Amino acid sequence: MIHRQSHQQSNQQHPVNLRGQIANWVAQVIYQGQSANVVTQQIAEQVTDPRNRALARKCLFGVCRQFEQLDWAISQLLQKPLKKNQWSLQSLLLSSVYQLLYLNTAEHAVISESVNACRQMEKDWAAKLVNGVLRNALRQKQSLLEQTNAPEKVQYSMPDWLLKRFKNAWPKHWQAICEQSNQKAPLTLRLNRSHANAKSSDALLQSAHIEFKTHPVAKDARILDEARNVQDIPEFATGLFSVQDISAQLAAALLPVNAGDRVLDACAAPGGKTAHLLEMHPELSLTALELEAARAEKIHQNLQRLNLTAQVIIDDAQTYSVQQPFDAILLDAPCSATGVIRRQPDIKQHRRDEDIWPLVQLQNAILTNLWQQLKPGGHLLYATCSILPDENQKQIKKFLKQQSDAALVTLPDTVLKTGTDTGFGLQLFPQRDHDGFFYSLLKKSS
């Protein structure tokens, strides 16, 4: 209804209440293109009350998840669309309608505080409009949630372009993909088996009253029943656990390595796969490659917490070269991140259809360059957190045609059973216990 604007929001002249602040944070993500994770950090710094902080974060991510549904609902409640420059008011309606339709918050408080926020935002003229829209939202709550005769993008809360790609690529799976992508992801830990307290890890979690379950393939995974602050997880600070989704935990097990091998983890930030490789194979000589200094620093921080050592290099994977080639390479390529929408729902607002082709070209450039840095007889594991074939199986099919010395390696049956064998790699769809991910293992001829 209102598209993202390129200009920046002016600073408020007067303090606003929590609903007004939430609207401001929503506007930053939806209409200004800011990352939800960056805005979440603002919330953590600016909101001292834990309950208010939790509400603000819940509203921000909830609006991103349900944007198409909320935008449609508001269009049904307004007599005429708001002007395109009223995105701060639109954000207030988005966040307030979300609370009324999806949260068990006090309805009168949502309405009265939203009306007050209008006045604090110096939009007195809109107070009556906001009051009327929100009261109508309450009266029509059931029909708005049922979405009778609403377009498919509203029913599945997915942008048209992405819905079309999912349907074309996965005609038997697209509905489940959409539904799972709009669910809240669990917090999954990875156990560090090299830690001194590894054998007592489960008992430590139980003693802290943290309920969890294990996974039949990702043996080091502990899926928690509910999200919690990592500071509350026993021995997290000493490196017993790391936060990593099950799909990402498969990488270290799928890359064949031997003691003393020189291994490259390309596009490595924040360092989860780097650390996992070293936890499983501490004798490796491992190099972590990252383009941006700030992201490389995150690798350093993670390795330091886990008491692990790797060479961290800041360079471009498209041009990076070495005199002595690597025995094995892990490439977690830059991608559309369409497999992790449930963790980063603002992807639906920020990604565009026209972004995909440049990403495909970038992936091919990186893959082609890194292949030259691999020893004959070595393995390269290509990974993305995408579920789009152009970035995955089609990418690998094209690469195999380009490189006569590249051969596809069949992944273990136990892993293949967790997803869909595309013929050029394993596609994992977003499900309750894991994100969407793609893996393809290649071997360079001797």
Amino acid at position 266, single letter: A
- Three-state DSSP class for residue 381: strand
CA distance 22 to 405: 54
Is 310 annotated as a binding-site member?
no
Q: 112 is written with which tokens?
A: 């009265």
Is 316 annotated as a binding-site member?
yes
- Tell me how crowded residue 121 is: count the other CB atoms within 10 A of its CB: 20
CA distance 278 to 294: 22
Per annotation, catalytic residue among 64, 118, 178, 385: 385
385 is catalytic: yes
Is 269 annotated as a binding-site member?
yes
Phi, psi dihedrals of residue 288, rounded to the nearest 5°: -105, 120
DSSP codes, 339-389: T-TTT-TTHHHH--GGGHHHHHHHHHHHHHHHHTTEEEEEEEEEEES---G
Q: 326 is written with which tokens?
A: 């690597």
- Tell me how crowded residue 233 is: count the other CB atoms within 10 A of its CB: 20
Is 332 annotated as a binding-site member?
yes
Is 290 annotated as a binding-site member?
yes
Q: 176 is written with which tokens?
A: 């489940």
Is 272 annotated as a binding-site member?
yes
CA distance 192 to 299: 16
Is 273 annotated as a binding-site member?
yes
Is 23 annotated as a binding-site member?
no
Smallest Cα–Cα separation from 393: which of 403, 406, 382, 377?
382
Between vectors from CA 373 to CA 370 and to CA 376, what angle results, nearest 5°?
115
Q: Mention every residue, 6+ apart, whose C-beta is less than 8 A from residue 107.
A: 100, 138
Is 435 annotated as a binding-site member?
no
Is 433 annotated as a binding-site member?
no
CA distance 413 to 202: 28
Positions annotated as catalytic residues are: 385
Binding residues for S-adenosyl-L-methionine: 267-273, 290, 316, 332
